[in-house]
Amino acid sequence: MNDFWSWERAAEVLPQLLSAFFEVTLLATVLGSVIAAALGLVIAFVRRSAPVVIAKPVHWVMEFIRMTPLVVQLLFVYYTFTSWDPLWIGIGVLGIHYATYMAEVYRSGIDNVPAGQWEAATALSLPRSRTWTRIVVPQALRTTVPALGTWVISMFKDTPFLFVITVPEMISAAENYGSRTFTYTEAITLAGLIFLAASYPTSILVRKLENRLARY
């Protein structure tokens, strides 16, 4: 049993994994999610309201980002902007990549706002900005929040890809420990359990939120 699993090695590597989790993995997920949520809403607004000459190129760029692997995007930006901090490159690429998916979620929510709401805003001569901020977006968010939460969880599970641009996230810390000690079982297992401990409760909360919003 000691050859397969050592509690001493597990205790030794756990602080390193937790440090990488909070300082890199969680940070990249939180900031990347903020970027994705904000940029996704902007993209959805542009595709819904901007002139065709603007909306079409935005759509093409969005499709290109969605149809190319995240790893390729990380490497491209990393080798193009070599003077930038790899962690911030990773956060930016994650945010932009997932913004394209969140934009589709927002678009679906906006399209589901009843036509009568738009007509009422027009009848009241409400400014377009107020129509969006006070009527459309609040109603769209009610139906999109659960789906947005699902994409945040997906982003969290994709953070190990940051290792390709030398970002010392949690899986990288586990591999580094394994390469030093020639034992990977404890480090990789604990890293997986930390991912599970963070993502599973979040998925339950998202599911409960979805059920609660469905009743309104």
Q: Report the pLDDT value the prediction gives residue 164, as an integer from 0 to 100.
A: 94
Number of independent structural domains in the chain = 1
Tens-digit pLDDT profile for residues 84-99:
999 999 999 999 999 9
Residue 2 has pLDDT above 60, yes or no: no
Q: How is residue 124 annotated by DSSP?
A: T
CB atoms within 10 A of CB 113: 17
Share of the chain above pLDDT 70, in %: 87
- In a domain, residue 29? The reply is yes
Residues in the chain, overall count: 216
DSSP per residue over 35-47, as a string? HHHHHHHHHHHHH
Domain assignment present for residue 3? The answer is: no
Cα of 145 vs its chain's centroid, Å: 13
Q: Which residue has the higher pLDDT, 42 or 2?
A: 42
Residue 106 φ then ψ, to 5°: -60, -45
Answer yes or no: is 4 within a domain: no
CATH code (residue 50): 1.10.3720.10
**The dihedral sign for the CA sequence 28, 30, 34, 36:** positive
Is 6 part of a structural domain of the chain?
A: no
pLDDT, tens digit (0-9, with 9 covering 90-100), for 61-85? 999 999 999 999 999 999 999 999 9
Distances (CA, A) of 123 to 45, 119, 120, 135: 22, 6, 5, 14
> 201: pLDDT confidence band, cut at 50, 70 and 90?
confident
Judged against a pLDDT cut of 80, whether residue 132 lies above it is answered with no
Please tell me the distance from the alpha carbon of residue 13 to that of residue 189, in angstroms, as a whole number: 11
Top-confidence range, 21-25, 116-120, 201-205: 21-25
Is 206 inside any structural domain? yes
Query: Is 36 a member of any domain?
Result: yes
Identify the domain containing residue 170 by its residue range: 15-214
Mean pLDDT of all residues in the chain?
87
Residue 7 counted as domain residue: no
Higher pLDDT, 173 or 124: 173
Please determine, for residue 185, whether its predicted confidence score (pLDDT) is greater than 60.
yes
Q: Considering the domain boundaries, does residue 8 fall inside one?
A: no
The pLDDT value recorded for residue 158 is: 94
14/190 Cα distance (integer angstroms): 7
